[in-house]
Structure 1
Amino acid sequence: MTTARTETDVAHVAAAIGDPSRAKALLALAGGTALPASALAAEAGVSNSTMSSHLARLREAKLVTVELDGRHRYYRLATTDVSRALEQLARIARPLPPRSLSADTRARALLRARLCYDHLAGRLGVAVMDALQARGILLAETTEPTDLSERTGTAESPERPPTSDAATNTVYLLTSQGRQELGSFGVDLDRLPRRRASVRYCIDWSEQRPHLAGALGTALAARMFALNWLRRGKYRRVLHLTDIGREGLESTFGVPVAQAL
């Protein structure tokens, strides 16, 4: 006889995230890059031995995984759900005042453009999402309160996976025009991984509005990196929009970069 799973141990996961050093390590990994314990220790301002203990706790809570490369160990977030959970927690968390000029510079850069695991976030991510709707590539649809707030598929044939943000009652569908334009841009929609919903969104913690996530968000960001529109910035998770990227976003998708950033 199988016992029904009626509750989850939220307190266990929350306690693992709740330590400031572990939270800093998780946020450092939220850019999607695997990092060694030494880099995470530097990010959190603790010793390597202390970070090793923290990482053991995060692994036990199934929040991070470890990859072996010879004698070296690299850590990354266990799933995209962990990154999304961090983004949601950031929406309700109080802001931390920067304690140095460097911290202030980093905070401002994160607000402008950053990676949310493997897709665009910050003001740039939200501006791209807005532009995709304005051009008719994505169609925003308000659902009934009892409906799910997240779908994947196309405007002609939507599918309905589990919701990520039921409060908004909004779904975003890829249109036929959108398929054509994104295909011309170099995004191969037929090769998007089937294990992930293609059109998903996150409510951006800094802008409190949606940015594009899911397999489509990942593919779009990857294409922008390939075209040298985006580069990783000096700080972890921070993105730098190149001059080519500014021109490309405005001419291809109508993103008002000057206003957005």
Structure 2
Amino acid sequence: MKLGPDIAVVAALIGDPARANMLVALLSGQALTAGELAAEAGVSLQTASHHLGKLEAGGLVVPRKQGRHRYVSLAGPEVAKALEGLMGLAAATGARRVRTGPKEPALRHARVCYDHLAGELGVLMFDRLEAQGAIAVEGERVDLTDEGAQRLARLGLAPDSLPRARPLCRTCLDWSERRSHLGGPLAKTLMGRFLELGWADREAGTRIVRFRPTGLGEFQAWLGA
């Protein structure tokens, strides 16, 4: 008798190339329509709807309605974390796309991983916050320290404005850097604050985050980098 969860079921859902492309597109954190996901997967709308039905039944995506429009998003951050981890494994084992796009360097530099900052700048933030004692890291557990609370205050984030969810932050394996960046509700709050301050912008239709020259300087100064 086999014990524990059956990973084969989830692996089979993710393993189809069309479904995998749809799930990666949803790593942007945005809810997309079946038509948009069909374009991402390179399949017909009917085929995309069939795939989305399987993903929804498997608990990997959830439907969202706004008026007469129906959207789809990832079921939650744990799905995003699993996908990011698989992308890192694929990169490490040589399972790369035959043709890379011109935006690949920008994607590796700074991108969203569902709702938080990833890529070179995401890893830089994690490393600097840990080195300066703003976060305490033990395995996958990450705790915000008193120094970290002061660091957040410099961004105009009061302690009582932070999400009540626990854990407040955690590690997330970065697929391109193959090291940890910061995930969890705190990381989501920080990403939102960077956008609010005008330090960076989201590139429409992609996962790319582009820091403005002055914003990058402010970001690095905040990190002490």
TM (norm. structure 2) is 0.91
**Residue-by-residue CA offset, 1:10-34 (whole Å, 9 max, x unaligned):** 1111111111010000000011111
Q: 2:4 aligns with which of 1, 4, 7?
A: 7
The aligned counterpart of 1:150 is 140
- Stretch moving more, 185-194 or 33-42: 185-194
Gaps of 5+ in 1: 142-148, 152-171, 256-261
Contact 1:125 1:212 (8 Å CA) reproduced: yes
Structure 2: which amino acid aligns with 1:215?
P
Opposite residue 96 of structure 1, the aligned amino acid is R
The alignment status of 1:82 with 2:79, answered yes or no, reads yes
Rounded Cα–Cα distance in structure 2 between residues aligned with 1:45 and 1:225? 31
Identity %: 44
Which of residues 243, 256, 261 is equivalent to 2:213? 243
C-alpha RMSD over aligned residues: 1.8
- Aligned-partner Cα distance in 2 for 1:37–1:185: 38
1:19 matched to 2:9? no
Give the secondary structure class of the aligned counterpart of 1:30.
helix
2:199–2:212 contact (8 Å) kept in structure 1: yes
Count how many residue pairs are aligned between Structure 1 and Structure 2. 221
> In terms of Rg, which structure is larger?
1
AA aligned opposite 1:211: H
Distance 1:52 1:196, change over 3 A: farther
Residues 1:192 and 2:162 aligned together: yes
CA contact (8 A) 1:122 1:207 kept: yes
Q: Secondary structure, in 3 states, of the residue corresponding to 1:22? A: helix
Query: Which residue number in structure 1 is paired with residue 42 of structure 2?
Result: 45
- Which residue is equivalent to 1:173? 143
In structure 1, the residue matched to 2:196 is 226
Shift of 1:247: 1.7
- The CA deviation string for residues 6-57 of structure 1, in whole angstroms up to 9 with x for no partner, is 5222111111111101000000001111111111111111111111111011
Range with bigger deviation, 227-236 or 43-52:
227-236
- Return the alpha-carbon distance in structure 2 between the equivalents of residues 92 and 177 of structure 1: 34
Assess if the C-alpha contact under 8 Å between 2:125 and 2:181 holds in 1: yes
Q: What is aligned with 1:156?
A: none
* Residues in 1 aligned to 2:30 and 2:185: alpha-carbon distance in whole angstroms: 17
Equivalent pair of 2:126/2:181 in contact (CA under 8 Å): yes
Letter in 2 for 1:208: R
Q: Which residue of 2 aligns with 1:34?
A: 31
1:179–1:189 Cα contact (<8 Å) kept = yes
CA distance in 2: counterparts of 1:85 and 1:97, whole angstroms: 19
Structure 1 position 235, deviation (Å): 4.8
1:228/1:244 contact within 8 Å kept: no
Q: Which moved more, 1:51-60 or 1:244-253?
A: 244-253
Give the Cα–Cα distance (whole angstroms) in 2 for the partners of residues 17 and 243 of structure 1.
38
Aligned counterparts of 2:190 and 2:199: Cα–Cα separation in 1: 11
